[in-house]
Amino acid sequence: MTIRHLTACAALAAVLMAPLSGAWAQNLDLTRPNKVVFQVSDGDAAKWNLALNNARNVQQDLGRDNVAIEIVAYGPGIGMLKLDSVVGARVAEALGSGLSVVACENTMKNTKLTAADMLPTIGYVPAGVVQLMKRQKEGFAYVRP
């Protein structure tokens, strides 16, 4: 088995073992008292790990049921959501913890990526920047690690 297959299997296993609560991208509970959206537009695994660590820390500090968290990826950051991503297993783990991860369809189109290239169970939005604007309008705090 290749590294790509192992990463995809680990990601799929983590998602399948996760509760079906907030793990699906467009189903954030907007009634939660705290809301935060993270922007990841860098194609750097360290930035992704930082964003994932920040999200986990927010959940631990405020309580998982008290916060809605979404990570929006676009531009070079979208590469970390591909099946062969070096942070794929961590993204899958985060999805299992009840946060949302969405990929920008504009970036996918421009880089010729399809859903088949991406980690399972991530969500998709037409435009990453517009999604960030929408979330801020809905009262989400904005963080760019």
DSSP class per residue in 3-71: HHHHHHHHHHHHHHHS-SSTTSTT---TTSSEEEEEEE----HHHHHHHHHHHHHHHHHH-GGGEEEEE
pLDDT bucket at 8, cuts 50 / 70 / 90: very low
In the chain, what are the domains?
3-143 (3.40.1260.10)
Mean predicted lDDT score pLDDT of the chain = 86
What local confidence, expressed as pLDDT, does residue 140 receive?
97
pLDDT bucket at 25, cuts 50 / 70 / 90: very low
Quick check: pTM over 0.85? Answer: no
Rounded to whole angstroms, the Cα distance separating 126 from 107 reads 9
Q: What is the mean pLDDT of residues 50-67?
A: 96
What local confidence, expressed as pLDDT, does residue 132 receive?
98
**Contact at 8 Å (CB) between 119 and 82?**
yes
